[in-house]
């Protein structure tokens, strides 16, 4: 037997004796688990989102609450959040940032929100998806501008994808990551963001979907927090609308 068949046979053999349910504290969880377990398998299709969401951290009910939570969470993570009126204002903000920081080259990808920002920059730009990204060129960039698929108020996370966010490298290799998004992209929970991604990319998942929660960080030296371990040291979130 090859390795695959041996391992699968061992698994089938091992599972012939059922394991008891874990010691659960809540009635809801038991109510969901017991009939499923009795049905011969767990089959807890309802549990994670429909039952568990009310137990997880709050994502806010109204759009205003969600925006406030998102901003608070991002600031706690030491990201910079800016809310601007329109694309024009966003472009001005990023141009000023590029000027103040003395950026020489900024990477971006083709997108209706990102394009105008790149066009207004006072420095050299590098478009990563025209058509393929040269990693050495990307490495020489001071910042990367991308859009995202969703912003999650519950945790202050952004969801970026390789299909709609300029590939894999753009949001991780440059020293500064600038994300531009619209207010209607805010969703309350991680579950909502995952649902949305599944629907949007049904049948053809992007090769990478990444939740980004603040600038890159490490606590490896004496458990002291340092930002910018390998990914971006700074994260700017520009909300348009």
Partner 1 sequence: MIAHPSDLPRLAKKKFLHDAAEHVRDTSHRSFVRKALGGYYTSRDTQKARFRDWEQARDAASLAKWSAVNRLDELLPRFVANFEANGGQVHWARTAEEARDIVLNLLRAAKAKAVIKSKCMTSEEIHLNAAMEEDGYGVVESDLGEFIQQLRGEPPYHFVFPCMHVRRDEISDLFQKNLGTAPTDSPEELTMIARRHMRQLYVDADVGITGANFLVAETGQISITENEGNARLTAALPRVHIAISGIEKVVEHLDDLAVLLPMLATAGAGQPMTCYNTLYAGPRKDGECDGPEEMHLVLLDNQRTAILADPEQRDSLHCIRCGACLNVCPIFKNVGGFTYGTTYQGPIGSVITPHLRGLADWNHLSGASSLCGACTDACPVRIDIHHHLLHNRRNAARTAPSRWERLGHKLFVMVARRPWLFATGGAVFRKTLGLVKAVRPPLVRNWLATRDLPAAPEKSFRAEWRSRKDDILHERS
Which residues from 215-234 bind partner 1, rule CB under 8 A?
Answer: 215-224, 226, 228-232
- Specify the stretch interacting with partner 1 by CB under 8 A; choose among 15-23, 87-95, 96-104, 180-188: 15-23
Query: Distance from first CA to last CA of the chain, Å, rounded?
Result: 61
Residues 35 to 54 in contact with partner 1, rule: CB under 8 A: 36, 41-45, 47-49, 51-54
Rg (CA), the chain: 22
Query: CB neighbours of 12 closer than 8 A, spacing ≥ 6?
Result: none
Please select the residue that binds partner 1; options are 67, 70, 71, 73, rule is CB under 8 A: 73
19 binds partner 1 (CB under 8 A): yes
In the complex with partner 1, the residue whose CB is nearer, 19 or 85, is 19
Residue 173, SS3?
A: coil
Whole-angstrom distance, CA of residue 34 vs CA of residue 80: 46
Contact between 185 and 219 (Cβ < 8 Å): no
Contact between 158 and 125 (Cβ < 8 Å): no
101 binds partner 1 (CB under 8 A): no
Q: Contact letters (x/-) for partner 1, 76-95, by CB under 8 A?
A: -x------------------
Please select the residue that binds partner 1; options are 133, 143, 151, 176, rule is CB under 8 A: 133
- Specify the stretch interacting with partner 1 by CB under 8 A; choose among 85-93, 98-106, 116-124, 169-177: 169-177
Q: Sort strands 105-108 and 124-127 into parallel, antiparallel or unpaired.
A: parallel
Shortest approach of partner 1 to residue 161 CB, angstroms?
9
31 binds partner 1 (CB under 8 A): no
In the complex with partner 1, the residue whose CB is nearer, 18 or 102, is 18
Question: Is the peptide bond prior to 226 cis by the omega test (within 30 degrees of 0)?
Answer: no
Contact between 136 and 105 (Cβ < 8 Å): no
- Please give the distance of CA 103 from its chain centroid, rounded to a whole number: 25
Residues 171 to 210 in contact with partner 1, rule: CB under 8 A: 172-173, 189-191, 194-195, 198, 204-210
């Amino acid at each position: 037997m090859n390795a695959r068949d041996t391992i699968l046979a061992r698994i089938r053999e091992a599972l012939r004796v059922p394991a008891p349910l874990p010691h659960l504290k809540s009635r809801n969880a038991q109510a969901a688990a017991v009939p499923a377990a009795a049905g011969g398998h767990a089959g807890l299709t309802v549990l994670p989102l429909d039952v568990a969401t009310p137990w997880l951290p709050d994502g806010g009910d109204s759009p205003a609450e969600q925006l406030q939570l998102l901003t608070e969470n991002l600031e706690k993570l030491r990201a910079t959040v800016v809310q601007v009126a329109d694309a024009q204002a966003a472009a001005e903000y990023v141009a000023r940032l590029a000027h103040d920081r003395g950026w020489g080259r900024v990477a971006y990808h083709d997108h209706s929100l990102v394009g105008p920002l790149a066009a207004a920059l006072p420095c050299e730009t590098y478009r990563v998806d025209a058509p393929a990204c040269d990693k050495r060129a990307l490495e020489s960039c001071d910042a990367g501008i991308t859009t995202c698929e969703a912003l999650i108020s519950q945790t202050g996370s952004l969801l970026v994808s390789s299909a709609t966010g300029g590939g894999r490298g753009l949001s991780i290799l440059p020293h500064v990551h600038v994300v531009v998004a619209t207010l209607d992209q805010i969703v309350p929970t991680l579950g909502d963001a995952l649902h949305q991604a599944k629907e949007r990319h049904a049948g053809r998942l992007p090769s990478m979907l990444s939740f980004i929660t603040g600038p890159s960080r490490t606590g490896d030296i004496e458990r002291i927090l340092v930002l910018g371990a390998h990914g971006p040291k700074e994260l700017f979130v520009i909300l348009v609308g």
